[in-house]
Structure 1
Amino acid sequence: MAWERINGQERQISVLRRAIKTNRLPNAFLFTGPEGVGKEAVAIELAKVLNCDSPNALLTAEACEKCESCKKISALKHPNLEFIFPVEKILLEKTSETGADRAKQEDALERMKALLEEKRRNPYHSLRMDKAMGILKDQILLLQEKAAYKPLAGKKRVFILSQAESMNEASANKLLKLLEEPPPYVLFILVSSQPEMLLPTIVSRCQPLRFSKLRPEEIREFLERQSFSLEADAERFIASFSRGNLNHVVQMAFQSVENREKPELQRTRDEALQLLRMLLSRDRGHEVIRQVEQFSKRDKTRDEQRQILLAMLRIFQDVVRKQNAPNETGLVNADIETAISKFAQNFPDADFESAVKETESAIYKIGRNANPFLTFSALCIKLKTFLTR
């Protein structure tokens, strides 16, 4: 049935099914937890149950998977299901009459459609448009208009706000008014891996449901169910390095199977490791500059730049673990444990904990569209100070 497609999250699914069976669904949920663990996948399945044509759907909290409504929701084409996520501002502007601007709008629209198509194929896929500035006020105004109309078919209109923390103050205040007096036929599902960035007044009007980080064994079970024929080493790397993010798991598994080479994220990690070695050396400053320029190139998407920083962060976190517990075995970068141990042993005076905090700050800035070159440059200057005391 529908819920069986979800990897892990048994407790969270149980909470939702009980709410459906007892008719105690709130008007708004706040799904929180790490990225890629299934928050939006669960939201889609919840929408499916609530709109299933089977007379037993609400009694059993199970979608039939056979009716027209279930099929449309699986295809993300049901009028009662809509994703609101950060899009490029040009998509919210009136259709341009000039050739150049119209071409830009059409290009952005095609990229948005491609994102949604990938989401249909892989419900763990992240809905990110590279030039987006967050969920904008005009998107919430449009949401208000749509929420005012009762569903023409089915039982419940479900609006899933992906990366809800990306709302600016204006859009958050507009949403707050909607949450204060929600229509009874609407369910809002706010999804966020950084709920602390949401307005407290928005959080207080949503029923929270925290999703768990997936364990490596759950990742391996997922890979087996998806019938990926992976080498044992590749499977171990994916299970540990993905940090429970099933979107990354799928990407890395496909790359390993199709290309028979290191997954892209593993190559990114190796680049981050190389940069760390440069920073720890005294006479490789010119190489650091070249690497920063490489990371900041225009052909690098925001997500790619973010992945570089995440790879650096995970290396630093592993080194801190090794410094605190030399026999630690549960490293994210288990395949380079020897290198991690050498960093911990050979640089006992380096402040890796400050490096962790500064890298987290850089990740936040890149997510907020800060200048990549300035962000990477400032980070490297600070890391050099922390690591070469």
Structure 2
Amino acid sequence: MFENLLEQPAVISRLTHDLQTGSLPSSILFHGPDYSGKMTAALELARALTCHSEGAPWNCSCHSCNSHRLLEHPFIIMTGGRYFYEEIAASAQPLANREDQVFRFMFVRNVRKLLRRFDNVLWEGDTSKLKKNQPQLTSVTDKIELFLPDRDLPSEKKREKLLKDILADCKKLAAAVPASTPINHIRKISAWAHRAGERKVVILENADYMQEGARNALLKILEEPPANLHFILLTTRIGAILPTIKSRVRAYGFSGRTEEQSKLVIKRIFRVDENPYHSLREFFLSHHDIDYSELKKLAELFIKSSREKNTAFRDVVPGKFEREMFIPFLEELTLALNRFMKDAQGNGVNTAVLTRIARWNSKIREYAGNFEILNQSHELLLESLYYEMKR
């Protein structure tokens, strides 16, 4: 088990022990930075929990495991947002001129991580919301079948066109996935979980992003969980999880990967021997049509301008700021602030400066939530953040 989870030995050891001794609780929480393997671990754990063979071996060929490998298993639900497009684009690139089975599996799985967010269980009765995405859902579902490992791949020229079309549709679908799991999804998951049947697994990403109603609905399920149901919550911010929820789950911490470990993962998974990337984040974001070097410059300019009284927002951001750049920019700004804080601590800067940086980081998290959960204007949030940093 967990052969595909790289550079997380402590997590693998704990999960394997808890599975083998039968001490794994029904509700668990994976916490750690983005790109640390939380979803990889969650999917492999879901496979092991529903495997029909003793010990859930990695190469098990039971019907349940075969369904899991292609993310077709009927008793697994995935909800919450993630970096869908970057992940899909990264796995599509090698398929343009290579036919390896491993790349086909990886591409199909990454696309279906997105498609499973539109499962009927989650959207039953909300057909109006699905209607505008139905053309893309149908198109991607049909086209992805051509890349299944047991099929003859289309010609290289046709493959290039198919991949381009799939990526374009996936980009639209990814934008339609709620960043946080809404309360109606939690209620539908509860109804689904109480139906008789085999063991079920719910993987809930961005558990820290849920609004109060959704959190309370989730808490009710965790307090009285149905038989044969496992919840796997994922978060990058364990401190933002309600204490009442944390008290009902067992937490497993994932460590951030070093530059060396990131390069190893890129080499092992994507077969890229030489790469200029310092982290998995850089690698995945390189597959997005955003100039991240410009975002990095803008983040540094925000910090510099915070110390200049007479610099207006439009002096720093003179033109239109695209919606899809907002969250990547906040991530770059957070990284820049963390670098600044590290340097400040090394140079013995007073605590007032460190307190100010901590306040900025708190505002960044708040504005990210306002954008992704409350759908507030990214341009107004960006300008508000700029002036908050000048206070």
Question: What is the TM-score normalised by the length of structure 2?
Answer: 0.70
Structure 2 CA distance for aligned equivalents of residues 75 and 182 of structure 1: 27
Which residue of 329, 335, 350 maps to 1:314? 335
**Alpha-carbon offset, residue 228 of structure 1:** 1.4
C-alpha distance 284-48 of structure 1, shift in aligned 2 (>3 A): same
In structure 1, the gaps of 5 or more residues are: 121-126, 240-245, 328-343
**Alpha-carbon offset, residue 270 of structure 1:** 2.8
Which residue of 77, 82, 85 maps to 2:77? 82
Cα distance per residue 1:252-310 (max 9 Å; x no partner)? 4657xxx9xxx84344213323454556667753743644x533x3xx22xx3122122
Structure 2 CA distance for aligned equivalents of residues 37 and 228 of structure 1: 18
Partner of 1:333: none
Report matched runs for 1:309-388 at 5 Å.
309-325=330-346, 351=353, 353-369=355-371, 370-385=376-391
8 A Cα contact 1:84 1:162, kept in partner: yes
Partner of 1:268: 295
8 A Cα contact 2:20 2:55, kept in partner: no
**Alpha-carbon offset, residue 11 of structure 1:** 0.9
Segments ≥4 residues shifted beyond 6 Å: 110-114
**Alpha-carbon offset, residue 166 of structure 1:** 2.1
Partner of 1:338: none
Partner of 1:104: 132
More contact order relative to length (CA 8 Å, sep ≥ 6): 2
SS in structure 2 opposite 1:45?
Answer: helix
1:67 aligns with 2:58: no
C-alpha distance 185-93 of structure 1, shift in aligned 2 (>3 A): closer
Partner of 2:38: 39
C-alpha distance 137-8 of structure 1, shift in aligned 2 (>3 A): same
C-alpha distance 286-220 of structure 1, shift in aligned 2 (>3 A): closer
**Alpha-carbon offset, residue 15 of structure 1:** 0.8
Structure 1 CA distance for aligned equivalents of residues 26 and 247 of structure 2: 12
1:285 aligns with 2:312: yes
1:159 aligns with 2:202: yes
Cα distance per residue 1:29-61 (max 9 Å; x no partner)? 11112222111210100111122233342xxxx
SS in structure 2 opposite 1:294?
Answer: coil
The AA in structure 2 aligned to 1:228 is V
Question: What is the TM-score normalised by the length of structure 1?
Answer: 0.70
Q: RMSD in angstroms over aligned alpha carbons?
A: 3.7
Structure 1 CA distance for aligned equivalents of residues 61 and 386 of structure 2: 54
Structure 2 CA distance for aligned equivalents of residues 352 and 324 of structure 1: 8
**Alpha-carbon offset, residue 316 of structure 1:** 2.4
**Alpha-carbon offset, residue 355 of structure 1:** 4.0
8 A Cα contact 1:30 1:206, kept in partner: yes
Partner of 1:168: 211
SS in structure 1 opposite 2:127?
Answer: coil
Q: Report the count of equivalent residues.
A: 322
SS in structure 2 opposite 1:16?
Answer: helix
Structure 2 CA distance for aligned equivalents of residues 224 and 372 of structure 1: 36
Structure 1 CA distance for aligned equivalents of residues 242 and 178 of structure 2: 21
Partner of 2:151: none
| Sequence identity (%) | 23
Structure 2 CA distance for aligned equivalents of residues 113 and 360 of structure 1: 40
**Alpha-carbon offset, residue 133 of structure 1:** 6.2
**Alpha-carbon offset, residue 147 of structure 1:** 0.7
